[in-house]
Homo-oligomer: A and B are copies of this chain.
Amino acid sequence: MADTIKLASIGLGRWARVLARSVQRSDTIELVNCFSRAEDKRQAFVQEFDLPRSAATLEELLADDEVEGVIVTTPNDTHLPVIKQCVEAGMPVYTEKPISTTVDDGVKIAAAVKDSGQVFAVGHSARRLSGSRVMKEWIDSGRIGGVSMAEANFSNERGLELTPDTWRWYNDKAPGGPFTQLGVHHADNLQYLMGPVRSVRANTRKVFTEAEVPDAVMAILEFESGALGYLGCGWASPGIYTIILQGTKANLRYDLDFTMWDESHEADDYSSLVSQEMGQVSRTPLDLPRTDMFREQLEEFGRATRGEAEIEVGADEALRALAVVHAGIRSAQRDGAAVTLQEIIDEADATAGV
Binding site for B on A (CB under 8 A): 146, 148-149, 151, 153, 155, 157, 160, 201-203, 205-208, 215-220, 222, 226-230, 232, 234, 236-240, 244, 246-248, 250-251, 257-259, 270, 276-281, 331, 334-338
Contacts and interface: CB of A to CB of B under 8 A. Distances in A.
Contact of A258 (B151, B234, B236, B281): B281
Nearest to A335: B338
A151 B248 contact: no
Given A148-B215, A238-B281, A239-B281, 15 more contacts: A146-B207, A148-B216, A148-B234, A149-B155, A149-B236, A151-B232, A201-B202, A201-B220, A203-B220, A217-B228, A218-B230, A234-B246, A237-B247, A331-B336, A336-B337
A278 B157 contact: yes
A259 B283 CA distance: 13
Contacts of A155: 149, 246
Contact of A240 (B238, B251, B270): B251
B222 A220 contact: no
A246 B240 contact: yes
Contacts of A203: 201, 220, 222, 228, 338
Scoring A219, A220, A251, A278 by chain B CB atoms within 10 A of each residue's CB, the highest score goes to A220
B248 A237 contact: yes
Nearest to A157: B278
B222 A205 contact: yes
A196 to B, nearest CB: 16
A191 B271 CA distance: 32
Nearest to A200: B336
Given A226-B207, A278-B238, A218 B337 contact: no
A258 B216 CA distance: 31
Contact of A251 (B238, B248, B281, B335): B238
Nearest to A242: B244
A146 B216 CA distance: 12
A298 to B, nearest CB: 26
A148 B208 CA distance: 7
Contacts of A157: 248, 278
11 contacts: A146-B236, A148-B237, A151-B230, A203-B228, A216-B227, A218-B220, A237-B246, A237-B278, A238-B278, A240-B244, A335-B337
Contacts of A146: 207-208, 236
A281 B270 CA distance: 10
Given A205-B227, A226-B205, A338-B336, A246 B236 contact: yes
B279 A149 contact: no
A201 B217 CA distance: 13
Contact of A336 (B208, B220, B246, B247): B220
Contact of A238 (B160, B226, B258, B277): B277
Nearest to A151: B232
